[in-house]
Amino acid sequence: MGDVLSSLNPMQRQAVLHGEGPLLIFAGAGSGKTRTLAHRVAHLIGARDVAPSRILAVTFTNKAAGELRERVQRLIGSGDAPWVSTFHAACVRILRREIGSLGFSASFAIYDDQDSERLLKECLRELDIAEQTLTPRAAAAVIDAAKNRGISVATFDRSTPAGERAARVYTLYQEKLRRANALDFGDLLLWTVLLFREHPAVLGRYQDRFQHILVDEYQDTNRVQYQLTNVLAARHRNLCVVGDDDQSIYRWRGAEIGNILDFERDYPDAVVIRLEQNYRSTGIILEAAGAVVAQNARRKGKALWTDNPRGEPITVAQVDDDLEEARYVAAEIGRLVRQGHRLRDIAVFYRTNAQSRGFEEALVRHRLPYVIIGGVKFFARAEVKDVLAYLRLLVNPADSLAARRIINVPARGIGTTTVERIAAFEEDAGGFLAACRLALARDALKSVAAERVRGFVELLDGFGRALDTEPYPQLAARIVADTGYATLLREDPSEVARDRIQNIEELLNGMQQHATGGGTLQDYLEQVALVTDVDSYDGQADRVTLMTLHAAKGLEFPVVFMTAMEEGLFPHARVDEEDIEEERRLCYVGMTRAMQQLYLTHARRRRVFGDVHANQRSRFLDEVPRTLVREIGNPARRWELARRQTELFAAHADASSREVRVEYDTEDGLRVGTRVRHATFGVGLVQQLEGSGDGRKATVLFQSVGRKKLVLKFAGLQPA
Q: Is 683 helix (H, G, I), strand (E, B) or coil?
A: strand
3-state secondary structure 508-562: HHHHHHHHHCCCCHHHHHHHHHCCCHHHHCCCCCCCEEEEECCCCCCCCEEEEEE
Dist CA 700 CA 718 (whole Å): 12
What is the H or E stretch that residue 417 is in?
A: helix 416-423
Domain identity same for 403 and 509: yes
pLDDT, averaged per 10 consecutive residues of the chain (720 residues), comes to 80 96 96 96 95 96 92 88 94 96 94 94 95 93 95 94 95 96 96 96 97 96 96 97 94 90 95 96 97 91 92 95 93 95 96 89 92 80 94 95 95 94 92 95 94 96 93 95 92 89 92 89 91 76 93 94 94 81 96 98 83 86 95 58 45 39 46 76 79 81 74 80
Enumerate the active-site residues.
Answer: 33-34, 216-217, 247, 593
Dist CA 604 CA 328 (whole Å): 14
Domain identity same for 67 and 148: no
pLDDT for residue 6: 84
Q: Are 411 and 456 in contact (CB under 8 A)?
A: no
pLDDT for residue 610: 66
Handedness of CA 200, 202, 208, 212 (dihedral sign): negative
Dist CA 305 CA 279 (whole Å): 9
Q: Give the CATH number, domain containing residue 216.
A: 3.40.50.300
Domain boundary residue among 588, 604, 633? 633
Domain identity same for 492 and 386: yes
Other beta carbons within 10 angstroms of residue 623's beta carbon come to: 15
CA-CA-CA-CA dihedral for 649, 652, 658, 664, to nearest 10? 80
Among the listed residues 553, 560, 586, 555, the one whose alpha carbon sits nearest the alpha carbon of residue 572? 586
Dist CA 638 CA 703 (whole Å): 9
- Count Cβ atoms within 10 A of the Cβ of residue 430 and give its class: 0-12 exposed, 13-18 middle, 19 or more buried: middle
In a domain, 103, yes or no: no
pLDDT for residue 607: 80
Q: How many domains does the chain have?
A: 5
Domain identity same for 477 and 415: yes
Dist CA 473 CA 458 (whole Å): 21
Domain identity same for 162 and 260: no
Q: Is 173 helix (H, G, I), strand (E, B) or coil?
A: helix
- For the chain, the distance separating the N- and C-terminal CA atoms, rounded to the nearest angstrom, is 66
Domain boundary residue among 608, 633, 658? 633
In a domain, 528, yes or no: no
Domain identity same for 196 and 60: yes
pTM of this prediction?
Answer: 0.82
Dist CA 118 CA 553 (whole Å): 30
Domain boundary residue among 180, 210, 238? 180
Domain identity same for 390 and 492: yes
In a domain, 387, yes or no: yes
Q: Are 109 and 180 in contact (CB under 8 A)?
A: yes
pLDDT for residue 703: 62
Backbone angles phi, psi at 206, to 5 degrees: -75, -30
> From residue 303, how far is each of 31, 491, 548 by CA, in Å?
12, 63, 27
Contacts (Cβ under 8 Å, ≥6 apart) of 663: 689, 690
Q: Give the CATH number, domain containing residue 421.
A: 1.10.486.10
Among the listed residues 668, 706, 700, 670, the one whose alpha carbon sits nearest the alpha carbon of residue 686? 700
DSSP state of 251: G
Domain identity same for 311 and 370: yes
Q: What is the DSSP string of 54-96?
A: GEEEEES-HHHHHHHHHHHHHHH-SS---EEEEHHHHHHHHHH
In a domain, 529, yes or no: no
Domain identity same for 174 and 134: yes
410 preceded by a cis bond (ω within 30 of 0): yes
In a domain, 525, yes or no: no
Among the listed residues 529, 569, 673, 551, the one whose alpha carbon sits nearest the alpha carbon of residue 249? 551
Domain identity same for 396 and 489: yes
Domain identity same for 404 and 512: yes
Domain identity same for 475 and 386: yes
Q: Which domain holds residue 224?
A: 2-96+190-277
